[in-house]
Amino acid sequence: MIRKTVAGVVEATEGVKDNMTFMLGGFGLCGIPENSIAELVKKNIKGLTCISNNAGVDDFGLGLLLQQKQIKKMVSSYVGENDEFERQMLSGELEVELIPQGTLAERCKAAQGGFPAFYTPAGYGTEVAEGKETREFNGKMYILEKAFEADFAFVKAWKGDEAGNLVFKGTARNFNPCMCGAAKITIAEVEELVPAGSLDPDQVHVPGIFVQKIFQGKNYEKRIEQLTVRKR
Amino acid sequence: MLDKNGIAKRIAKELEDGYFVNLGIGIPTLVANYIPKGIEVEFQSENGVLGMGPFPFEGEEDADVINAGKQTITTMPGASFFDSATSFNMIRGQHVDLTILGAMEVAENGDIANWKIPGKMVKGMGGAMDLVASAENIIVAMMHTNRAGESKLLRKCSLPLTGVNCVKKVVTNMAVLEVTDNGFKLLERAPGVSVEEVQKATEGKLIIEGNVPEMILD
């Protein structure tokens, strides 16, 4: 077995620098790499390009990096929950590339799987298609989208083992598996790090080959963005 | 004139047994409350769940189980979770039968705009562009006019597009309309709304054929 475990977030994030491109898993605040984000805030590295479906909220998730003006550019599909984000975007301080959610997922998967580009119908005829190659297949129009290139991918799983195998829970899975192995280095933080052999190989969601470093996360807040309940 | 729940109730009548359905944020979410008796449908949420159930009881919410609107949800027997790429394979690959979403504008040729107001509101398209580019059956749920009283059913969209030639049907507080090659065909009127009122509130080409019936909601 090839061991992927590191002591903690400090060792895991060795090598992150100004002006790098990061992928960050999560949908809203669900399944975000909380420990890694906190460490990036602490390191206060700047000029970052962040590929993430959302930009967090004002005081949590990627919103924490935005507050310190660490992010130069965001690549996201939906950014509606963050006032500071909107302010920075409208004032021109922050560069933003909005792309369809399925395209975002697939550009990660393409990078993971060695495809330079792919055709998708999403965004055809809209401003998303501007400047992109288009092509017809079987009477329908598609646009060419390219694989992402990133330095680090930060993902969060429910459980993981010493070999870097990952298991997710519920909808906290989202973009995390797509980003594993899609950047030069993938850092996985987990709620529960278990010895090799404790995960059933049949139940592994992401094989450890896609993960370079794994560590036991701490103090997960797992904030709920829209608590919605019904009466008994 | 219908309220938001009325629109949802009318759209629910479009559901058919065995449908996999993606519901957008807003009025479409309410459709789940009015599934006709005797049919089985499964709701897909693009953040990675198929077989979505009702909101959880107080105290039983799980931060790891949400819908695309970031609301806490539950799952039904037979539900599954998956990653975002798999989710959009279901959508792009046309495995989802029906997409119901909101809009700011719909044009008479089926174009839809619902993601951006330049200089004012830029939240992003989320999964909407993937959904409208791929789904075979797209129903828009929206109010017939905007807050300023202007028609949202237009000859041509004025806002940046989400998708082209894709909307099949529009259900508003005033009417049910089908998007045809020649424009919006008026299928039904909301209770108490006249054909003339629908015509007045519709900027795009409206096709009226014969006697237009009033909606039956129950």
**Complex confidence, ipTM:** 0.97
Q: How far is A190 from chain B (nearest CA, A)?
A: 14
pLDDT at A153 over 90: yes
Helix H or strand E encompassing A36: helix A34-43
Report the alpha-carbon angle A200-A201-A205, nearest 5.
100
Domains within chain B, CATH numbers bracketed: 4-207 (3.40.1080.10)
What's the pLDDT score for residue A54?
A: 96
* Cβ B133 vs Cβ B165: under 8 Å: no
What's the pLDDT score for residue B120?
A: 80
**Neighboring chain A residues of B85 at a CB cutoff of 8 Å:** 102, 105-106, 108-109, 177-178
Query: For residues A190 and B186, what is the distance between their CA atoms, to the nearest angstrom?
Result: 54
Domains within chain A, CATH numbers bracketed: 9-117+148-216 (3.40.1080.10)
Q: Can you tell me the mean pLDDT for A139-145?
A: 97
pLDDT at B121 over 80: no
A77 close to B (CB below 8 A): yes
**Neighboring chain B residues of A77 at a CB cutoff of 8 Å:** 124-127
Neighbours of A196 (CB within 10 A): 16
**Which chain B residue has its CA at the smallest distance from A109's CA?**
B85
| C-alpha distances in Å from residue B32, one per residue of B7, B15, B29, B43, B154 | 12, 10, 6, 8, 28
A101 close to B (CB below 8 A): yes
* Cβ A85 vs Cβ A74: under 8 Å: yes
Query: For residues B125 and B46, what is the distance between their CA atoms, to the nearest angstrom?
Result: 13
Beta-carbon contacts below 8 Å between A and B: 186
A88 close to B (CB below 8 A): no
What's the pLDDT score for residue A221?
A: 97
Q: Is B46 a catalytic residue?
A: yes
- Sign of the C-alpha dihedral computed for residues B61, B64, B70 and B74 taken in this order: negative
**Neighboring chain B residues of A171 at a CB cutoff of 8 Å:** 45, 47-49, 64-67, 81
| pLDDT tens for each residue of A206-225 | 999 999 999 999 999 999 99
What's the pLDDT score for residue B119?
A: 81
Q: Can you tell me the mean pLDDT for A22-40?
A: 98
Query: Which residues touch B124 (CB under 8 Å, ≥6 apart)?
Result: A76, A77, A78, A79, A80, A98, B115, B116
Please pick, among B14, B46, B105, B108, the residue that the annotation labels catalytic: B46
pLDDT at B152 over 90: yes
Token pair in block for residue B81: 């979770």
**Which chain B residue has its CA at the smallest distance from A103's CA?**
B130
Looking at per-residue pLDDT, the higher value among A134 and A89 belongs to A134
pLDDT range class, residue A191, cuts 50, 70, 90 = very high
Task: Of B130, B131, B106, B126, give the one whose Cα is nearest residue B115.
Answer: B126
Chain A 161-190, CB below 8 Å of chain B: which residues? 168-178
What's the pLDDT score for residue B144?
A: 98
Query: For residues B40 and B134, what is the distance between their CA atoms, to the nearest angstrom?
Result: 23
Instruction: Give the one of B64, B124, B130 whose C-beta lies nearest to A79's C-beta.
Output: B124
pLDDT range class, residue B218, cuts 50, 70, 90 = confident
What's the pLDDT score for residue A83?
A: 86
pLDDT range class, residue A143, cuts 50, 70, 90 = very high
**Neighboring chain B residues of A109 at a CB cutoff of 8 Å:** 85
A207-227 in b/e burial notation, b at 16+ Cβ within 10 A? ebebbbbbbbbeeeeebbbee
Instruction: Give the one of B45, B59, B127 whose C-beta lies nearest to A100's C-beta.
Output: B127
Share of chain B above pLDDT 70, in %: 100
